Amino acid sequence: MVQPLANPAPAHHGGAVVNAAATGTGGGFVEFADVEKSYDGRSFAVERLNLSVARGEFLTLLGPSGSGKTTTLNMLAGFERPTNGAITLEGRSVDRLPPYERNIGMVFQNYALFPHMSVEENVAFPLRVRKVARADIGPRVSRALDMVQLGQFADRRPSQLSGGQQQRVALARALVFEPGLVLMDEPLGALDKKLREHMQLEIKQLHVMLGITIVYVTHDQTEALTMSDRVAVFNAGGIAQLGSPDELYNAPRNSFVASFIGENNTLVGTVERIAGKECRVRLRGGGEVTALPVGVSEGQDCHVAVRPERLKPMAGGAGDNNFSATADGHIYLGDHLRLLARLQSGQILTVKVEADMARAAGVPVEVSCSPGDCRAFPVDAGKGAPPSKS
């Protein structure tokens, strides 16, 4: 059994850390307060960032290239200094501390292993730099290598290992000095799909067993949803939404998150009326749909998002929102199909169906969904909400 290298994590419930910091109410293990970063003095790579990370939490910074996630990680690591604002770790400001004084472990995409050193020497390096007693180095290195199941490879050089094994060495090196925080920057980006999925499970298992705090950067939404307690979705230098994987997938707050997290069909239209918790949208190209309004007003152009699995092929259109369409082929994905249904307007809806529900091209189909499965967002909501502590 793996023995903890750090303080145990707070109790988890339903995949999320249960304490005040996890819900963004302040007092977190890591705090960003109005943090900004500008490289040219005119534009901001990160703007007005407020973020709280709980002790023991697995928080992923997710977003497209240039969204600010890596810059945020680099400021926390000490590789970049904030232009404005403050970053604290365990209540202590780290803005002026060099990286080696922050007690932070780092795992990079390119492994950053020393090629002339053995696996054992690579893992021991952080301990030697910190002048740990020689008698303690051997047992701690052995323990770290055993954690990542590489004890038998201690004498090998990095070039004699596979990509997955090299990444495990990098992980052991980041954990061996018992850091309070581990930062991971696209650590699995260089691995093939099967190995990447295997390493996702290994890293998550280590997180749970050791109780370490992890801040993880990726542009892979599946990776973020699979591994994280919470995900901060970055866009245009700020957080478009912060929440659990379930919240982001099922209750996106803006059109950017709806389109970036998972697969979505997007219909364009205009809000005709809002009644209670629902709105009626007249679609461009004809037809209407009832949806949940998210920041829209009557008369406003909007995007209506609906997931492929929420659309159902139904004879006669038995649901609240019905679409007459024509089968335009399908995509085979093993356990299910993606049925392509072309609307009269020419737009194609993607519908998740069972593998035996293929339809020949040109065959009429009726597609239906409920209002609760549709969300109407303002067309101009692509950048999401301003960064906040919520």
Cβ contact 306:264 at 8 Å: yes
pLDDT tens, position by position, 153-164: 999 999 999 988
First to last CA, the chain: 37
* % residues pLDDT > 70 (the chain): 89
Residue 279 domain-assigned?
A: yes
Domain that includes residue 320, residue range: 263-378
More confident residue, 345 or 242: 242
**CATH number, domain containing residue 371:** 2.40.50.140
Residue 321 domain-assigned?
A: yes
Average pLDDT for residues 359-365, to the nearest whole number? Answer: 81
Lowest model confidence (mean pLDDT) among 70-74, 159-163, 237-241, 359-363: 359-363
**Statement: residue 379 has pLDDT above 90:** no
Residue 255 domain-assigned?
A: no
Q: Indicate if 210 and 241 belong to the same structural domain.
A: yes
pLDDT tens, position by position, 13-51: 333 333 333 334 456 899 999 999 999 988 999 999 999
Domain boundary among 250, 279, 313: 250
Q: Indicate if 232 and 280 belong to the same structural domain.
A: no
If you ran DSSP here, which 8-state letter would residue 345 be given?
A: T
Structure tokens at 49: 């960032």
Domain boundary among 200, 219, 250: 250
**pLDDT value at position 268?**
94
Q: Indicate if 91 and 230 belong to the same structural domain.
A: yes
Residue 333 domain-assigned?
A: yes
Q: Indicate if 219 and 293 belong to the same structural domain.
A: no
Q: Indicate if 183 and 89 belong to the same structural domain.
A: yes
**pLDDT value at position 27?**
67
More confident residue, 179 or 335: 179
Residue whose token pair is 């950067």: 217
**pLDDT value at position 360?**
72
**pLDDT value at position 237?**
94
267 DSSP β-pair partners: 304
Residue 152 CB contacts under 8 Å (≥ 6 apart), including other chains: none
Residue 172 is inside which H or E element, if any?
Answer: helix 163-175
pLDDT level of residue 285 (50, 70, 90 thresholds): confident
Lowest model confidence (mean pLDDT) among 15-24, 129-138, 178-187, 233-242: 15-24
**pLDDT value at position 161?**
93
Mean pLDDT over each residue of the chain, to the nearest integer:
86
Average pLDDT for residues 324-333, to the nearest whole number? Answer: 87
**pLDDT value at position 318?**
56
Q: Indicate if 357 and 319 belong to the same structural domain.
A: yes
Residue 195 domain-assigned?
A: yes
* % residues pLDDT > 90 (the chain): 65
Residue 174 domain-assigned?
A: no
Cβ contact 28:258 at 8 Å: no
Domain boundary among 202, 228, 250: 250
Residue 385 domain-assigned?
A: no
**pLDDT value at position 315?**
59
Q: Indicate if 313 and 364 belong to the same structural domain.
A: yes
**Statement: residue 361 has pLDDT above 50:** yes
Q: Indicate if 361 and 215 belong to the same structural domain.
A: no
Residue 229 CB contacts under 8 Å (≥ 6 apart), including other chains: 12, 15, 16, 17, 22, 57, 58, 59, 244
User: What is each CA distance from 320 to 43, 82, 370, in whole angstroms?
Assistant: 46, 50, 5
pLDDT tens, position by position, 291-321: 999 999 999 999 999 999 999 887 554 568 9
**Statement: residue 5 has pLDDT above 90:** no
**Statement: residue 78 has pLDDT above 70:** yes
Total number of domains in the chain = 2
**CATH number, domain containing residue 209:** 3.40.50.300
**pLDDT value at position 20?**
32
More confident residue, 24 or 345: 345
Q: Indicate if 280 and 369 belong to the same structural domain.
A: yes
**Statement: residue 8 has pLDDT above 50:** no
**Statement: residue 390 has pLDDT above 80:** no
pLDDT tens, position by position, 108-120: 888 889 999 999 9
Q: Indicate if 355 and 278 belong to the same structural domain.
A: yes
Residue 116 domain-assigned?
A: no
Instruction: Give which of 96, 53, 65 is closest to 183, Cα–Cα.
Output: 53
Q: Indicate if 72 and 25 belong to the same structural domain.
A: yes
Q: Indicate if 240 and 351 belong to the same structural domain.
A: no
